[in-house]
Amino acid sequence: MSENDLNQRVIDSRDDKAKTEQLIEEYKPFIASVVQKHLGRYVEYGVDDELSIALLAFHEAIMKYDLNKGNFLSLARVTIKHRLIDYFRRENRNKPSIISIEQEREDIDNEAQDLSENQAIKDFQERQIRDLRKEEILEVKKALSAWGINFLDVAKSSPKKEGTRKSYLKAINYIIGNPDILNIMKKKKYLPVEKIAEATKIPRKTIERGRNYIVAAVIILSGDYQYLKEYIQWR
């Protein structure tokens, strides 16, 4: 099963107890391997309490997993390690003996490893978002080319004054809020300046000067460009 297939399966199983339990059962070997690597020794289900902690942590990871934030198994691995560290800390607090210096060092090393893994997950997610944003840029570039527009044209027509920017945004919001106008634009690759000017009271010349900027904004804001919408502050 690919990472993407597993990630989606995690989401799909979240509201179905049977599917969740089946997923946990299938990934018991993975859970045990994470625990063994963390403890540095062999563990066995029904014998070692650490495995019970890890099973609960795996279930926790299923419940809080976000499909847009990387690989599920990376999250599960980190969650298991966090819960094991919490478990050992509680156990040590309940013991009369003082934690040895070696144990303290081991805890510090484990925390450092967890922080490193968290950073690795964060870096992975950021790379993934950058890659998706690049794909969206290529798609927008293709959409703009159908209008005879490129990114340089959009940059040149970007508003330099606050008043002009507000006028452009008013035109953009009007277009997006009116399906008939939006359909005309998408089907005919034509900006109905007269209708927009009449409805918004924006001077025709202002709309014509901002044509490329307005078209680009409408394409992105009305399309499936999640990461560009977040990256570009149109409003």
Q: Are residues 119 and 7 in the same domain?
A: yes
Q: Range of 160's domain? A: 146-231
Q: Structure tokens of 128?
A: 């993934």
pLDDT of residue 116: 53
State the pLDDT confidence band at 100, using cuts at 50, 70 and 90. very low
Is the same domain home to 106 and 31?
yes
Q: 74 with 174, same domain?
A: no
Residue 38's pLDDT is what? 85
- Largest Cα span, the chain: 83
114 pLDDT band, cuts 50/70/90, is low
189 is a domain residue: yes
**Token pair for 138:** 């290529």
Radius of gyration of the chain (CA): 27
Q: Quick one: CA dihedral 36, 42, 44, 48, positive or negative?
A: negative
Of 139, 122, 210, whose CA–CA distance to 174 is shortest? Answer: 210
Same domain for 159 and 120, yes or no, is no
The C-alpha atoms of residue 205 and residue 62 are separated, in whole angstroms, by 55
Select from 128, 162, 182 the last residue of a domain.
Answer: 128
What does the pLDDT look like over 132-181, one tens digit per residue?
778 888 889 999 999 999 989 998 988 889 999 999 999 999 999 999 99
- What is the percent of the chain where pLDDT is above 90? 40
Structural domain contains residue 139: no
Q: Same domain, yes or no, for 16 and 124?
A: yes
The values of phi and psi at residue 161, to 5°, are -115, 150
Task: Tell me which amino acid residue 168 is.
Answer: Y
∠ CA 213-214-218 to the nearest 5 degrees? 120
User: Taken in order 61, 67, 72, 74, is the CA torsion positive or negative?
Assistant: negative
Tokens of residue 19, six digits: 């599917």
Q: Does residue 97 register a pLDDT over 80?
A: no
pTM over 0.85: no
Res 168: pLDDT: 93
Rounded CA-CA distance 13/62 in Å is: 8
Residues 193, 96 within the same domain: no
- Please indicate, yes or no, whether residues 186 and 115 belong to a single structural domain of this protein: no
For the chain, how are helix, strand and coil distributed in percent, rounded to 5?
75, 0, 25
Output the pLDDT for position 99.
41
Query: Do 111 and 11 share a domain, yes or no?
Result: yes
What b/e sequence results for 164-178 when a residue is b if at least 16 CB atoms lie within 10 Å of its CB, and e otherwise? ebebbbbbbbbbeee
Shared domain check, 9 and 124 = yes
Q: Tell me the per-residue pLDDT of 35-85, one tens digit each, with 9 for 90 and over.
A: 988 888 888 888 888 999 999 999 999 998 888 777 888 889 889 988 888
Question: In angstroms, how far is the first alpha carbon of the chain from the final one?
Answer: 42
In a domain, 62, yes or no: yes
Same domain flag for 154 and 73: no
137 part of a folded domain? no
Tokens representing residue 115 in the block: 């922080």
Residue 140 is assigned to a structural domain of this protein: no
What is residue 101's predicted lDDT score, i.e. its pLDDT? 43
In a domain, 75, yes or no: yes
How many domains is the chain partitioned into structurally? Answer: 2
Query: Are 115 and 16 members of one domain?
Result: yes
Is residue 113 domain-shared with residue 151, that is, in the same domain? no
Residue 60 lies in a domain: yes
